Chains A and B, each alone.
Chain A
Amino acid sequence: MIEFLQVVLAGIVILGAVATAWSRDPFNKLICLSVLVGGVFPFIVAGGYLDVAIAVALITPITTIFVLAITGRNSDGA
C-alpha cells in the first residue's frame, strides 16, 4: 500500500474514533463507528487476509443490528 493511502486511511480511522467519542445521539455514535470500521477495512485487505476481511465485513453489521435489537428499538427486523 502506498504512503498516501496509509495517511488518508489513518486519518479516517482517527476521525471516526474521535467522532464516536464526541457524539451524544446513539444513532450518530453507530454511524461514526461504521466510519471507523470503513477506515480499518482496507488495512486488513492490504495485509492479504481476505478471509479475515470477509468475516469482519459480515460480523460488523450483525453487531450493529444486535446493538439496535438489545435496546428494544429494532422493529423493522432488517
Chain B
Amino acid sequence: MAALIALYVCGLIALFAAIRTVVEPEPYRKLPYLNVMNFAIAGLIVLILAHPLSILAAAAYFVGSTLEANAIASTRAAVMEND
C-alpha cells in the first residue's frame, strides 16, 4: 500500500485530538481540538477508499461537523449573554 504512512499520521493525530477534546473541561477550548479531529477524519475517509464519491463524503462530513461546532458555539455565546 502506497498511502500507509499518511494513514498512520492521520490516525494518530485523530486519536491525539480526540483525547485532548475529551480531557479538556471548558467547551470553548474543546471546539478547536474537535476541529483538528474533524480534519484528520476527513483526510482518513479519502485515504481509506479512493473513489470519486468519497470527496463528496469527506466534504459533507467536514461541512456538517463545522456547522455543528458553529451552532454549539453560537448558542453558548447567546446563553452566556442572556445570563
Q: Chain A interface (Cβ within 8 Å of chain B)? A: 1-2, 4-5, 8-9, 11-12, 15-16, 19, 25, 27-28, 30-32, 34-35, 38-39, 41-42, 45-46, 48, 50-51, 53-54, 57-58, 60-61, 64-65, 68, 73-76, 78
Contact = CB atoms under 8 A, between A and B. Distances in A.
Contacts, number: 136
Contacts of B79: 73
What are the nearest 10 A-B pairs in CB distance?
A76-B74, A57-B60, A61-B68, A57-B61, A19-B22, A61-B64, A50-B53, A27-B27, A75-B78, A8-B11
B36 to A, nearest CB: 11
Interface residues of B, number: 45
